[in-house]
Structure formats: structure tokens, C-alpha cells
Structure 1
Amino acid sequence: MEIEDLDELDDHLDGGGSLRGLRLQHLDLTAYGDRLAEHDDLRGLVVLGGTVPADVAHALQVRGAILFPAVTDAPVDPWRGLYLPQELYAGLDAGGYAATPDARAYAWSVDARLRTDAYCTLIRAIHDDAVTDELDEFVAGRSVVGVMGGHALARGSTGYAAAAGLGHDLAEAGHLVATGGGPGAMEAANLGAFCRDRVALSEALGRLERVPSFRPDVTSWASLALQVRQTIVGDEPPAPTDTLGPSARSLGIPTWFYGHEPPNVFCDVVAKYFSNAIREDGLLARCTGGVVVLPGAAGTVQEIFQAVTPLYYAREEAPLPPLVLVGRWHWTEQLPIWPALQALARSRRMAGSLHLVDDLDAAVARIAT
């Protein structure tokens, strides 16, 4: 049993329940030394990060608890889980993108001295597992629709506006819109879902045109986006990530593996991973409502075949969410993926889940059905 907030811990302690088998994750246990010490046998209790003063740690350890300490010498807290976009970009105004937690985490992950260091590898693994754990809770009970597409799509372009409209329509239909969390088509779809009405979306699109791309200056690209995001959300303080699931419309799942692609800020929350393999599988596996694929290049092609594989091998009784490719010429001529998908689908149940359309309204309709 995982306990992730102090109210839940108080309820458990007040109820007199056993502490064996509990996982206390990312909690401040400063005031809990005496209450925990009332239990003589704490074998099976595991404390994962958080704040644990020396006296509390001693009281836990002598009674058999296992403590995984907080990490202070890495640019990430491996126990924290999901991020708010503004947390990844903290310090942007003062020191530029290079000073942000996002940029520092990427630099740390590719540091040749640390990439194979067992301690750093463990931190990255714990971090990604904590992200997965909270992400599962965040999407529980939701219809999640993935929108895939290239990172090069520029703000101000017709394609960018169309992708934003797609994200908005899907969110209005009650879906949680999930993307790879990067720039281009991903940012556009997240933006559309994040905006609660078409007026706000139109105004945001107009303002974002001033900085069309994250190249060559991520700082300007992200600074403008954060200003636009603040206009959309107003002055309300950001809600904790663990309270947003039922009301969220926009989810980004990026990776530090692609460090050249900064995360976009138009997400309710960001699930950012070090491992791209875990991130890719986790993104597509959670798209219970289907996947819409906009024109893209190698990364998008990879995502198509990752989405197709579980459709191909699905059990007879398993529901098959739709996979909708947008852009007939792109997917049959420029990158002829569609013929390969049709060949794979021949005489298989997955054939009914594959769709090729030219119109985004048709894409939304395929998801709705």
C-alpha cells in the first residue's frame, strides 16, 4: 500500500493499522518520529525519499524499516513523479534555458562520466518508475487519445493551427489529449486541448506566431509560451499534480533522450522520462481512446509501428482502439507506411482499427466511433 500524502498517513495511524508493507513516498516525516516509534516492529515498512530527520530515521531503522534517502546531488528528485511545466522551466527568466531544471537534467543524463555510473543509473530508474506510478493514477478512468506528429511544425503555419484545432476538438469531446510533449505538432495539440474555448485558442495562436520555432533560441520560444500559458490560466495558483486527473485535458509525455526537443508548456502536467523506451511504450499503451498520427518523420514512424504491434497481437476479446493516420499523400507517397500497415492487417481483426484520412474532422469522427 502506497501512502503519498500526510493526511492519508494520519488516517492510517489513527486507525491503528499495521505499518508492515506500507510504502511512504516523498513525505515530510519531521513531526512523525514519536508516532512511528510507538510501533515496535516496522519490518516491511519502506520509506521512499522525502524529508526524514536523523532522529526519525534512527527510530525507523532500529525497528526494521528500510529507508531510501532523498537525493541531493542530482538535478532531479527521483521520488517526485509528475511535473508542472513551470517547474521544468524554473529560472528561465534569470539564466536562460541552460539554467532550467529541464536543461540541467538533460546535461546530467548525457554526462559521459555519469552515464554508466551505477548510482546515477539507479536514480534515473527510480525517477522513471515514480513518474509511471503517478501517471497511472493521473489517467485512471479517462479516455486518453494520443496525437503524434513531427517536432518541426512551425507556429503560425496552417498545419500548426489545424493540429491545435484537433487537440481542442478531442478535449471538448471528453478525451484527455496526450502527446510526446515536445514542440511542433505536439505543442499545437497540447495547446488546443489546454484552451477551454476557441477564442482563447485563437488569441494564443496569434501571439505564438512571433517565435515560430524553438530553433535557434529555446529561451525566447519557451518564454513566450509561458506568457501565453499564464494568460490562459489567469492568476489562480497551480493545482497539485495529484488533483488534476479528472479535470485535465492536456498531457505531455516527453523524454530527456531527445534533449534537442524542449518540452512544451501547454500541458496540465508533464510526465518526463530519462528512458525513451519506457516513455514510448507508456505513452502508446495509455492511449485507450485511440491514436491520431499527423505527418512526421522518423520518430513518428517509430510510434506508428509501436502502436500497431499490440493491435496485431491483441487477444480476440481485447478491444482495439482506432489508429488514424492523417495525410493520404504523406503516408502513401512521401513515407509509404500505409501499404505496409495494410499488408500487416490482411485477414486480421486489426484491419477495422486502421484509418487513413485527409481531413481532421474525419479523424475526430473516427476516434468518436
Structure 2
Amino acid sequence: MTEPVQPVQFVEPVRPAERLRAALARLLDGLPPSQAGPAVERLIAHYRGATPTDAPILRDRADVAAYAAYRMPATFAAARAALGAFADAVPGWAPAGHTDLGGGTGAAAWAVGATWAGTRPVTVLDWAQPALDLGREIAAADPALHGARWLRARIGAALNLDPVDLVTVSYVLNELSVADRAALVDAASAAAQNVVIVEAGTPDGYARVIEARDRLIGAGFRIAAPCPHSAACPIAPGTDWCHFSARVSRSSLHRQVKGGSLPYEDEKFSYVAATRRPAGPAPARVVRRPQIRKGQVLLDLCESDERLVRTTVTKRHGELYKAARDADWGDPWPPYGP
């Protein structure tokens, strides 16, 4: 007798962000909260503000586990947002290989895998061996990173890179001297066809991004995102700074360290995505949170003619008004696609 055919149940694939959260949660198993909290507080105060020396501030596995569980989701979210904007500007393209400079535990490598399907050669370079070891351990949860290489290297001057399609540099420039920042950007631009740099969304972080942006343009790159042009930034130095926001789910460790009750926080970041390929930058970019009022939406835009403008979209604009109500800080304007 033939067995009845059972209906096929669709199981939604686990997304990289969810796999990453689960892998990070496992890191803290067996690490007492009394150890994790102080480690994070110490590392927040010192790690990102110090130039690496012969004694990296991430001293051991406990340090790295606490720091990764606390900071990696935010770094992933910021890098994913920047890479997503880059992908919009180069539709149909995917990196054939990826090198992450100063990648630590690999947040940007995870973000690349979340942006473009498939696998590719991946190399993560960092000075802190405990971070690389933990990054390799976490990567076991992501099939796209099973073949990744985790290599120790001093990030800065005298860095020799093999040719590669995409280089990412996330939350690294602030650890370096001015000379080493320049050397790092020059090394990335010499080796890669595409470079994406992410920094903290502060005035200093924006200044470092602009510094890198200028060097990339000088090396022959064109800007794909967030800027709608490759001319000088229209923001007068010292008057404002260009930055964006990515929402991050808070873990129990986040709430423990920060004492907050909200289930999320907003990671502010600045970035530049540059390419030697043909690219279609956004006609304009929303550079502040849209203001939704009765019957109208106010959008602050950086436009392709190198101007910062505020435009008002009303109900009279029909479908464009609906798009404006859905627009978010950092989005292209008008939206890509139909």
C-alpha cells in the first residue's frame, strides 16, 4: 500500500544575523557576568582609542568573548548597512574575494556574506591573535566563512596585500596614527577594486572617513555610496558631520553593561564605499531622519549637484509621497527600482 504523501513544510533559512547572535550568545556560556561586565567596560574605555602595540589590549579569550558579544552585533549592523548601499549602486555584481583589514572577530566578513549570496575566498587580518582565534571559532556557524583565513598582521604602515576584489576596513582607522591611516588606505586602494570603510558616527569618525575618501578619489576610485557624487563633501568642516544609524538588538550583556531597558540601540556610523567599476550612485541621499508631518514629509538630502537641500514631499506628489513616508535615514532618494 502506498504511503500518503506528506506535505512539504517550508523552513525559512536562518539568516546570517540570527546565526551570529546565536553564536555570540554561546560565547558567554560559562563566563560569569561579574567577569564579562567589567571586561567590556574596560575594553570600551581603552581598546578603540589605542594604537596596537606588542601587547594587544584584547589579552585573552575572556576579553575577546566579552567584547565580541558586546560590540560585534553593532559592527555587523553598520557594515551591513554600508555594504547594502554599495550593493545597490553596483547591481548584479558580487565580490569574487574579500579581505577584511583589522577585522578582529570578523563582523565585516559576516556582513559581506549577508549582503551577497554564495561563497568566496575570505581573509581576515588583525594584530590581536585572541580575536582571530575567536573569529575562526564563531565562523563555524556561517557556511560562507568555513574556508576563511584568519591571519595575524600589524595593520598600518608596511602592509602588503594580495590583489583582491573587495577590501573592508571597519572601526579601525581611529586606532592608527595619521601616517598609518594614510598607509592603510593606500594599501587597500592598491590591492582592491572596491573599498568600503566604516567608522564611528562622530565628528572625528566622519573626519577620518573624509580623509580616506579623498585618498581613494586621488587614487582613481569613484564614490558609490553614500555620496551621490565624487566631488568634495558639501559640509563645511566643523559645522556638521555626515553619519547614519543602524538599529541593533540588545543582548542581556548590553543591558547589563549599559543599564538600559530598551530591547535595542541605534549604532551611529559614517562610511564611504568606493569602486573602480562603473557604478550608479543614488541621485540623492537622505542624510537626516525624515520629519513626517500632517500631509507632508521633510527630507534633508545630499544631491548629485553637490548641494545639501531640504525638500518637502506632499500628498500632491502621489506615489512619491508614499515612498517618502517609508523613507529612512540613509536611504537613496528617490528609491531605487520601480
TM-score by length of 2: 0.30
More strand by share: 2
The structure having more radius of gyration, on CA atoms, is 1
**Structure in which a larger fraction of residues adopt helix:** 1
Q: Under a length normalisation based on structure 1, what TM-score does the superposition of the two structures give?
A: 0.28
